[in-house]
């Protein structure tokens, strides 16, 4: 029964979940005739094309009502890459990850991976017109292979990258507003996974990189290869910004299988972690000592739990809304958004589910606050669209827009492939 269900899961997630080179002689492409909202936007969302012929960052202006208008595409000066789907045919979510592109609100910067070039690039965000971005310096090596997730510290002056290929692990950089990225000594750390370049998955691949809320730890999620469960690798962050030589391996509660995205639970030293093997896991990290031996595994004890979502097939991505106090989990297989509440005792319950367009292949997502209201932005990769949901109150999310990506991209001369689109992050004007 287990192996049969895992084989089905793998098929669903797969069908779903070198040196840098100039991506194009055309650095920026305008996506509409109005050049965006020309500074009148509330902010912007960003995703990447992840094309092997050249990776572009695409930005869309956020209007005052939370809806979007595509604005422009800017070269990331590197190549995209699609992972090896096993055993299914190639499908969306080519990086098997969350946060392949990430914006820093405080730093006013944006960073993205170039998976096919093994580089990371950083851009300055125009605070008055956030859909306008300019690369700072140039792409730098991740010193690993198949980079697929990024994490900023709160100040936005430090960024780390997670490599998921044959040379896997993490590396961190200082972010200089004029010169770009400078590697931080003592942060190049290996996970020691038996992987390939590009990564073969989704089972057994890295997924997501995240700083703990107090920034004393750096965490990377790694999916298991059932029946062996995955884990979260936790390095301690030293005062000089270096990382502990070793990491602590934290296993999910009994029943947990494939740790994917990690979203902090406010007010708790705990994480909600999506798990395409069953639904979601809660990791109580309060007793976890970071920077332990990479050869041993500790269990997420205390109030940790593995929580099934009935009828789910591949729940992989998540975001949190401060306005509703809910988490929003994305299932690529069923095209479902599941709203979850986690109480003060770390008990998770399903609030409501919201069906999205069938076969739209929803993947990465982000929540942004616009004029005092929260909105959920979901990349529907398989349908080359962005779905916008207004988060009116707990249990009252409502779809308000489906934004086409393919049509405007074709008009602008931008190559977009539903199998390669990746990432979703937002920046909001102060």
Counting every residue, how long is the chain? 430
Give Cα 52 distance to the centre of its chain: 19
What secondary structure does DSSP assign to 317-363, as a single string?
Answer: EEEEETTTTEEEEEETTTTEEEEEEE-TT--EEEEEEEE-STT--EE
Cα–Cα–Cα angle for 312, 49, 34, nearest 5°?
115
Give Cα 31 distance to the centre of its chain: 24
Q: How many CB atoms are located within 10 Å of the residue 16 CB?
A: 27
Q: What pLDDT shows up at residue 302?
A: 86
Q: How far are the Cα atoms of 5, 403, 426 from residue 30, in angstroms, in the given order?
A: 45, 16, 19
Report the pLDDT averaged over residues 113-119.
98
Sheet with 422-428, edge to edge strand ranges: 28-30, 68-75, 56-62, 43-48, 422-428
d(Cα 379, Cα 382) in Å, to the nearest integer?
9
- pLDDT confidence band for 8 (50 / 70 / 90): very low
Domain positions in the chain are 2-17+27-428
Residue 1 pLDDT > 90: no
Residue 6 pLDDT > 50: no
pLDDT, tens digit, 9 for 90 and up, residues 362-384 = 999 999 999 999 999 999 999 99
Classify residue 407 by its DSSP letter.
Answer: H
Residue 10 pLDDT > 50: no
Q: How many CB atoms are located within 10 Å of the residue 251 CB?
A: 20
CATH number corresponding to 2-17+27-428: 2.130.10.10
pLDDT, tens digit, 9 for 90 and up, residues 336-372 = 999 999 999 999 999 999 999 999 999 999 999 999 9
Share of the chain above pLDDT 70, in %: 92
pLDDT, tens digit, 9 for 90 and up, residues 216-232 = 999 999 999 999 999 99
On whether the CB atoms of residues 206 and 199 are closer than 8 A, the answer is yes
Q: What pLDDT shows up at residue 26?
A: 59
pLDDT, tens digit, 9 for 90 and up, residues 154-177 = 999 999 999 999 999 999 999 999
Instruction: For residue 162, give both structure tokens.
Output: 């997670």
Beta bridge partner(s), residue 133: 125
Instruction: For residue 322, give both structure tokens.
Output: 């401060």
Classify residue 383 by its DSSP letter.
Answer: G
* Cβ-Cβ contacts under 8 Å for 190 (sequence gap 6 or more): 167, 168, 169
d(Cα 208, Cα 220) in Å, to the nearest integer?
6
Measured in Å, how far apart are the chain's first and last C-alpha atoms? 52
Instruction: For residue 12, give both structure tokens.
Output: 């669903």
Which runs of E-coded beta strand occur in 252-325?
A: 262-264, 270-275, 279-284, 297-299, 305-308, 315-321
d(Cα 170, Cα 162) in Å, to the nearest integer?
5
Beta bridge partner(s), residue 299: 251
Specify the pTM: 0.94
Q: Residue 89 burial (CB < 10 Å; 0-12/13-18/19+)? A: exposed
Q: Which range has the worst mean pLDDT, 3-7, 24-28, 149-153, 194-198? A: 3-7
Q: Which range has the worst mean pLDDT, 125-129, 159-163, 190-194, 299-303? A: 299-303
Report the pLDDT averaged over residues 412-418.
96
CA dihedral over 59, 63, 65, 68, signed as positive or negative: negative
Sheet with 262-264, edge to edge strand ranges: 262-264, 270-275, 279-284, 305-308
Of 146, 173, 179, the C-alpha closest to 162 is 146
Average pLDDT score over the chain: 92
Residue 5 pLDDT > 80: no
Question: Is pLDDT larger for residue 315 or for residue 89?
Answer: 315
Q: What pLDDT shows up at residue 184?
A: 98
Q: Is 291 left (phi over 0), alpha (psi -120 to 50) or beta?
A: left
pLDDT, tens digit, 9 for 90 and up, residues 223-257 = 999 999 999 999 999 999 999 999 999 999 999 99
């Amino acid at each position: 029964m287990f192996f049969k269900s895992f084989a089905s899961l793998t098929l669903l997630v797969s069908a779903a979940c070198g040196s840098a080179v100039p991506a194009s002689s055309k650095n920026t492409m305008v996506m509409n005739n109005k050049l965006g909202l020309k500074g009148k936007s509330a902010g912007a969302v960003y995703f990447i094309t992840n094309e092997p012929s050249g990776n572009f960052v695409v930005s869309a202006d956020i209007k005052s009502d939370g809806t979007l208008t595509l604005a422009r595409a800017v070269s990331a000066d590197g190549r995209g890459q699609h992972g090896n789907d096993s055993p299914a045919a190639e499908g969306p979510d080519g990086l098997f990850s969350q946060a392949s592109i990430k914006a820093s609100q405080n730093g006013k910067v944006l960073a993205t991976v170039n998976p096919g070039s093994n580089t990371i690039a950083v851009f300055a965000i125009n605070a008055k017109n956030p859909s306008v971005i300019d690369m700072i310096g140039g792409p730098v090596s991740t010193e690993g292979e198949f980079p697929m997730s990024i994490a900023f510290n709160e100040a936005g002056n430090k960024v780390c990258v997670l490599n998921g290929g044959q040379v896997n692990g993490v590396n961190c950089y200082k972010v200089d507003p004029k010169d770009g990225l400078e590697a931080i000594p003592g942060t190049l750390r290996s996970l020691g996974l038996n992987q390939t370049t590009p990564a073969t998955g989704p089972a057994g691949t890295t997924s997501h990189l995240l700083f703990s809320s107090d920034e004393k730890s750096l965490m990377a999620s790694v999916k298991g290869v059932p029946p062996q469960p995955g884990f979260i690798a936790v390095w301690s962050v030293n005062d000089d910004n270096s990382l502990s030589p070793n990491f602590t391996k934290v296993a999910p509660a009994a029943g947990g299988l494939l740790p994917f995205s990690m979203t902090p639970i406010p007010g708790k030293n705990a994480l909600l972690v999506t798990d395409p093997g069953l639904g979601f896991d809660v990791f109580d990290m309060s007793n976890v000592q970071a920077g332990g031996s990479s050869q041993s595994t500790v269990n997420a004890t205390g109030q940790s739990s593995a929580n099934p979502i009935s009828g789910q097939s591949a729940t992989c991505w998540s975001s949190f809304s401060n306005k509703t106090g809910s988490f929003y989990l994305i299932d690529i297989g069923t095209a479902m958004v599941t709203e979850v509440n986690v109480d003060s005792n770390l008990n998770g319950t399903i609030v409501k589910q919201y069906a999205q367009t069938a076969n739209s292949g929803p993947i990465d997502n982000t929540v942004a606050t616009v004029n005092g209201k929260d909105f959920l932005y979901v990349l529907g990769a398989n349908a080359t669209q962005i779905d916008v949901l207004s988060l009116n109150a707990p249990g009252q999310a409502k779809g308000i827009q489906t934004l086409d990506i393919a049509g405007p991209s074709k008009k602008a001369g931008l190559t977009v492939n539903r199998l390669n689109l990746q990432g979703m992050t937002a920046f909001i004007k102060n």
